[in-house]
Chain A
Amino acid sequence: MTVMLPLFCTSIYAYADNSELEYRVKSAFLFNFTKFIEWPVAEIPRSEFVMCVAGNPQLHNKLIETVGTKQNNGKPIQFTIIKHPGEAQYCQMVFLGFPERERLGDWIGAMSDLAVLTVSDEQDFINLGGMIQFVIIDGKIRFDINQSAANRSSIKMSSKLLGLARNVN
């Protein structure tokens, strides 16, 4: 699902707006994932749970609208847009919305040492080393999991989450 229609620059139809509902549901998924995932204990405990979005401001808006004031393990959730992989160290989860494969690869590479859950809806995200990739099957949202990528970053996924995934590798 690309966010913007990657047209030859001067498109007259740049008002492309992706399905509101799709992003709302994906936002709900992102929040739900956090219930089935264990992050390694941080050296400096933080008072907030930080969900970050890169490359998809629309999803960021929908995340705020959909998840809003909900909490994660008693901690308030903060929603942040990040623009550089370096900023990811402050996030527990990063949603990557870049349609460009090479860019996705760069971000994933830059975050590989961090205990950050990476999620995207771009094709090939799993193959590039991302952890959770949304797919739409018959109009419904499913997800694939790259468990080894999660393990490398010391992120533990519950067996329930793995069981609900379409594919786990």
Chain B
Amino acid sequence: MEKCDWKVISKFGKNAGLSGLSALAVFVSAVSSSYAANTEPVMLARVDDLASLSLESLMNIDVVSVSKRSEPLQQSPAAVFVLDSSAIIRSGVKSIPEALRLIPGLQVARLDSHTYAITARGFNSTVADKLEVLMDGRSLYTPLYSGVFWDAQDTLMEDIDRIEVIRGPGASLWGANAVNGVVNIVTKAAAKTQGGVEQIGGGGEYKGFAAWRYGGEVGELGHYRVYAKTTHYNAQEIAGAGDASDARNNDQLGFRTDLRLNDSDTLSLQGDLYKGRIANPLSNMDESTSGHNVIARWKRRYDDNSDTEIQFYYDQISRDETRTFSEDRNIYDVEVKHRFAVGERQHFVLGGGYHTTDDNIESLNPAVLKFVPAERKDETLDFFIQDQIALIENKLHLTLGAKYENNDYTGDEFQPSARFSYILNERNTAWGAVSRAVRIPNRLDHTLDIYNGALVGDESFSSEEVVAYELGYRAILSSILSTDIAIFYNEYDELRAFSGTFGVPQPEPIRIVNDGAGRTQGLELTVRWEPLPEIKVLASYVYQDMDVAAKFGSKDTNIAKNDENDPNNQFNLRVDWDVAESVSVQTRARWVDGLDDVGVKAYSALDITAIWRVSKSVELSLLGTNLLDPQHAEFSGGKEISRSLTGQFTWHF
């Protein structure tokens, strides 16, 4: 072995001459290895000489001088972050909302044992309605209020392949509701989850949990997996003495099978079945959630640039809140997508879908809250197109997209977007976007009735609208340091407001109207630093500022409170340390600004996860969360989240 360490100092000048081979000059210098005292002479090599180097020399070239994982996203024209499976497993988190805390730029606040408020770029609340959330192509937000019941969303954390998050509108492809962002949870293909896993644990916030998965082959055709899990949560705290009496449990099982029908066709079938109970101290009864879903996805691949995908899913959701309402809902959805290239420079995605949902919302206390009518069926039809154009190859890329949809609430909606990325060089990319997106009205907006007509939904309530302006810059500063910065300015109009002020007596019903408008602006900064091969640091900072008000002439006095749940500043730090071959430690720290208007103080939290791989098949982990204080509030409502120490045993077989 040679003693020197080949390192590429600068690479890839632009092709200026006639010979494609010789014009791309690579300056390879042999810098001394960190152990050698004397410096080797600097050498210059051309790229066509790489093939003349010996195997030993080739083995000394550092090819991952830029952060490998972030590189595929380096040129994307959007504020994108991808959380991969290894980060999820290293974190030890046991639920989807907790995994979302690992993603820079998302606002995640936990209220109690089962309620989360999650959004991106503002408008947070427990019924936050401006985020599109998908799992394996199935939309998780409920048409009841366009938000997500996070306590009903689960899967085996080990089987999540990645969580992709786009901050900012993604409506032209992802559809209505992708106003402030898209969260796309993708589970692993069955081929990647072969064999068995058994996991048990408990302690801290968990009374106990167990999970089991087994994956095998379906003859020559493909692979399958089946899983089952049960999770029992202890109650969280209230601000004073005593606990929140909101213990809960959740049982879920599911399967996924991926079949290869022939060289070009694949078929995936998957489904879940779940049932959960949550103690409700106010009704002294258990709230319940349950549901099941099946997804079928057929994909035909023509070549690297073209394929067709048809996906169908059925989703059944039931929920009983014990005091207010119970809901049974069916959703049927079919979507077709076709991807193809035109020439060398244009990549198209074309598609369309049909979505229908029927529900039955039974009021448990009609004098307080009801939905009129109690049963409703809605249909949505949509078409979308996106064209990625390389205006100047590897320099200036333009992405144009638009979605047209027709829905039963507002009729026609059009959501276009234009994005560009300007690639200065391999290490620096600037991007920008202008997009329009809408938040389509839902059951709540049109059919709600509170206190026998005191506050009512209104069928003339139209979509909330945003026009978003974004700019971003990504730079790989050195082999160990990279950064990603995005700024946004969003203009909202037709926001939900009330037609009057609550008073006693109340002369006429207060209606839900489009009387609000406003703007948000902010900055999101993420820095990756890998000072040593065994240490990886991810730091992020989010600043945002919201200004929302009732429009001139409106009698609303409520909408200005829209920003009360959104911290202005948020810092996150994640440090992964491979202490030894068999031990990894992840430390997560965050500081979240106070929510002054609702009396929630700024808080800091520290989580530490240690994983010890005792043998090839056995793993012990310890997960400590909220280590800095016995309990703290993350949101309004008077409940607090307590410190927790959980142990877990994992066996691979």
Contacts and interface: CB of A to CB of B under 8 A. Distances in A.
Nearest to B423: A15
A146 to B, nearest CB: 18
A142 B51 contact: no
Nearest to B66: A19
Contacts of A15: 75-76, 388, 397, 421
Interface stretch (B56-64, B149-157, B583-591): B56-64
Nearest to B77: A12
Contacts of B71: 16-19
Interface string A119-151: 000000000000000001011111000000000
B59 A141 contact: yes
B260 A139 contact: no
A84 B263 CA distance: 9
Interface string B414-446: 000001010000100000000000000000000
Nearest to A23: B63
Nearest to B221: A102
Interface in B319-366: 337, 339, 347, 349, 351
A57 B304 CA distance: 9
A103 B66 CA distance: 30
Interface stretch (B184-192, B247-255, B606-614): B184-192
B339 A9 contact: yes
Given A9-B337, A12-B76, A27-B50, A140 B223 contact: no
Identify which of A19, A67, A101 gathers the most chain B CB atoms within 10 Å of its CB: A19
Interface in B49-97: 50-51, 53-56, 58-66, 68, 71-73, 75-78, 80
Main SS class of interface, B: mixed
Given A9-B309, A12-B77, A100 B50 contact: no
B55 A10 contact: no
Contact of A66 (B51, B347, B386): B51
A29 B173 contact: no
Nearest to A63: B51
B170 interface: yes
Contacts of A9: 299, 307, 309, 337, 339, 349
Identify which of A7, A15, A57 gathers the most chain B CB atoms within 10 Å of its CB: A15
Contacts of B349: 9-10
B484 to A, nearest CB: 13
B54 A32 contact: yes
Identify which of B11, B53, B68, B72 gathers the most chain A CB atoms within 10 Å of its CB: B72
Given A12-B78, A57-B304, A66-B48, A22 B21 contact: no
A8 B186 contact: yes
A23 B78 CA distance: 26
Contacts of B173: 10, 12
B526 interface: no
Contacts, number: 146
A25 B61 contact: yes
Interface string B498-516: 0000000000000000000
B309 A136 contact: no
Contact size range, B: 35 or more
B480 to A, nearest CB: 10
Contacts of B8: 21
A25 B337 CA distance: 36
Contacts of B65: 21, 139
Contacts of B495: none
A142 B394 CA distance: 29
B51 A13 contact: no
B572 interface: no
B474 to A, nearest CB: 11
A67 B51 contact: yes
B533 interface: yes
Interface in B503-547: 533
A21 B55 contact: no
Interface residues of A, number: 45
A36 B54 CA distance: 11
Contacts of B55: 29, 32, 36, 161, 164
Interface string B174-217: 00000000001010010110000000000000000000000000
A22 B394 CA distance: 18
Contacts of B184: 8
Contacts of A24: 26, 47, 50
Contacts of A106: 260
B266 to A, nearest CB: 8
B653 interface: no
Contacts of A138: 533
Given A140-B60, A140-B61, A68 B222 contact: no
Contacts of A75: none
A100 B63 contact: no
A140 B307 CA distance: 34
A22 B62 CA distance: 9
Contacts of A27: 50-51
A38 interface: no
Contacts of A25: 50, 58, 61, 63
A138 B532 CA distance: 10
A41 B490 CA distance: 69
A101 B462 CA distance: 48
Contact of B68 (A8, A19, A65, A66): A19
B389 to A, nearest CB: 11
Interface in B375-408: 386, 388, 394, 397, 399, 401
A68 to B, nearest CB: 5
A139 B63 CA distance: 5
Contacts of A136: 63-64, 68
A72 to B, nearest CB: 11
7 cross-chain pairs, A with B, having the tightest CB-CB distances, nearest first: A13-B76, A16-B72, A139-B64, A22-B63, A28-B50, A139-B62, A101-B191
22 contacts: A8-B137, A8-B164, A9-B339, A10-B349, A13-B75, A16-B73, A19-B66, A20-B426, A21-B8, A22-B63, A24-B50, A65-B20, A65-B24, A65-B48, A67-B51, A101-B191, A101-B192, A138-B533, A139-B65, A141-B59, A141-B61, A161-B55
Interface of A: 4-5, 7-10, 12-22, 24-25, 27-29, 31-32, 36, 57, 65-68, 70, 84, 100-103, 106, 136, 138-142, 161, 164
